[in-house]
Structure 1
Amino acid sequence: MATSPPYPTHPAGPSDAAPRRPAHWWRRRWVRYGALGTLLAISGLVILALVRQQTGTEGFLVGLGLAVLPVPLLVAVFRWLDRVDPGPWRNLLFAFAWGACAAALIAIVANSFATRWIATATADPTNADTLGATVIAPIVEESAKAAAVLLVFLFRRRDFTGIVDGVVIAGVTATGFAFTENILYLGTAFGTDQLNGDSGLMSVTAATFFVRVVMSPFAHPLFTILTGIGFGAAALSAERHHGRRVLLPLAGLLLAMGMHAMWNGSSSFGEFGFFAVYATFMVPAFALLTGLIIWTRQRELRTVRAELPAYAAAGWLSAPEPYALGSMQARRIARRYAARHLGKAAARSVAEYEAYATSLAFLRHRGRDGRAGADFVVRERELLHELWRRREFARPALAYAARAAAPVPAVPPPWSTYGYAPEHSEPYWQPYGTATPYPAYNPYRS
Structure 2
Amino acid sequence: MRLSLPPLLGARRPPALVVCVLLSLCALLVGAVIHDETGTGGFLVGLGLATLPLPFVVLAARWLRTVAPWGWRSWLFAFGWGACVATLIALTANGLLVAWLTGEPARLAPSKPDTLELTVIAPMVEETAKAGALLVLWLRGTPRGNGVLFGLAVAGCAAAGFAFTENILYLGNAFAQDERLGVSGLWNSATVVTFVVRMLLAPFAHPLFSGLAGLGFGLAVVLGPRLGRWRLALPLVGLGLAMALHSLWNASTSLSFFRFSAVYLLLMIPVLAALCWVAVTVRRRELRLLRRTLNHYVAAGWLAPGEPSALGSPGGRARARRAARRARGAAGARALGDYQRAATELAGLRGEATRGRVPRDFAERERALLHTLWKQREFASATTLATARENAGAREAHRR
SS of the equivalent of 2:103 reads helix
2:176 matches 1:191: yes
Return the letter of the residue paired with 1:263.
W
- How far 1:245 moved relative to its partner? 3.3
CA distance in structure 2 between the aligned counterparts of 1:236 and 1:344, rounded to whole angstroms: 36
CA distance in structure 1 between the aligned counterparts of 2:281 and 2:62, rounded to whole angstroms: 16
CA distance in structure 2 between the aligned counterparts of 1:149 and 1:393, rounded to whole angstroms: 36
Worse overlay, 348-357 or 303-312 = 348-357
CA contact (8 A) 1:174 1:221 kept: yes
Residues 427-446 of structure 1 mapped to structure 2, 5 A cutoff = none
Rg comparison, structure with higher value: 1
- How far 1:118 moved relative to its partner? 3.4
CA distance in structure 2 between the aligned counterparts of 1:66 and 1:49, rounded to whole angstroms: 18
CA contact (8 A) 1:237 1:244 kept: no
Alignment gaps of 5+ in structure 2: 105-109
Query: Partner of 1:419 in structure 2?
Result: none
2:251 matches 1:265: yes
- How far 1:352 moved relative to its partner? 1.6
CA distance in structure 1 between the aligned counterparts of 2:43 and 2:399, rounded to whole angstroms: 65
SS of the equivalent of 1:388 reads helix
- How far 1:68 moved relative to its partner? 1.6
SS of the equivalent of 2:356 reads coil
- How far 1:370 moved relative to its partner? 2.1
Return the letter of the residue paired with 1:214.
L
Query: Partner of 2:239 in structure 1?
Result: 253
CA distance in structure 1 between the aligned counterparts of 2:78 and 2:163, rounded to whole angstroms: 12
Query: Partner of 2:107 in structure 1?
Result: none
- How far 1:343 moved relative to its partner? 4.7
Correspondence for 1:28 among 12, 16, 34: 12
Instruction: Say if 1:428 and 1:308 are closer, same or farther in 2 by CA, change over 3 A.
Output: closer
Query: Partner of 1:96 in structure 2?
Result: 79
CA contact (8 A) 1:78 1:171 kept: no
Query: Partner of 2:70 in structure 1?
Result: 87
- How far 1:308 moved relative to its partner? 0.8
CA distance in structure 2 between the aligned counterparts of 1:290 and 1:153, rounded to whole angstroms: 22
Return the letter of the residue paired with 1:329.
G
- How far 1:241 moved relative to its partner? 4.5
Return the letter of the residue paired with 2:65.
D
CA contact (8 A) 1:103 1:144 kept: yes
CA contact (8 A) 2:146 2:286 kept: no
Instruction: Say if 1:114 and 1:271 are closer, same or farther in 2 by CA, change over 3 A.
Output: farther
- How far 1:193 moved relative to its partner? 1.4
CA distance in structure 2 between the aligned counterparts of 1:279 and 1:233, rounded to whole angstroms: 27
Structure in which a larger fraction of residues adopt helix: 2
- How far 1:285 moved relative to its partner? 1.6
CA distance in structure 2 between the aligned counterparts of 1:179 and 1:428, rounded to whole angstroms: 45
CA distance in structure 1 between the aligned counterparts of 2:332 and 2:41, rounded to whole angstroms: 47
Query: Partner of 2:339 in structure 1?
Result: 353
- How far 1:276 moved relative to its partner? 2.0
- How far 1:224 moved relative to its partner? 0.6
2:41 matches 1:58: yes
SS of the equivalent of 1:268 reads coil
CA distance in structure 2 between the aligned counterparts of 1:35 and 1:155, rounded to whole angstroms: 15
CA contact (8 A) 2:83 2:164 kept: yes
CA distance in structure 2 between the aligned counterparts of 1:170 and 1:234, rounded to whole angstroms: 14
Query: What is the root-mean-square deviation of aligned Cα atoms in Å?
Result: 2.9
CA distance in structure 2 between the aligned counterparts of 1:228 and 1:269, rounded to whole angstroms: 29
SS of the equivalent of 1:319 reads coil
Query: Partner of 2:214 in structure 1?
Result: 228
Query: Partner of 2:152 in structure 1?
Result: 167
Structure 1 vs Structure 2: percent identity of aligned residues? 47
Return the letter of the residue paired with 1:347.
A
Query: Partner of 2:103 in structure 1?
Result: 120
CA distance in structure 1 between the aligned counterparts of 2:111 and 2:175, rounded to whole angstroms: 23
CA distance in structure 2 between the aligned counterparts of 1:221 and 1:172, rounded to whole angstroms: 8
CA contact (8 A) 2:325 2:333 kept: yes
2:158 matches 1:182: no
Query: Partner of 1:378 in structure 2?
Result: 364
Query: Partner of 1:418 in structure 2?
Result: none
- How far 1:247 moved relative to its partner? 1.6
Query: Partner of 2:261 in structure 1?
Result: 275
- How far 1:100 moved relative to its partner? 0.8
CA distance in structure 2 between the aligned counterparts of 1:109 and 1:80, rounded to whole angstroms: 35
Correspondence for 1:141 among 94, 117, 126: 126
CA distance in structure 2 between the aligned counterparts of 1:369 and 1:227, rounded to whole angstroms: 26
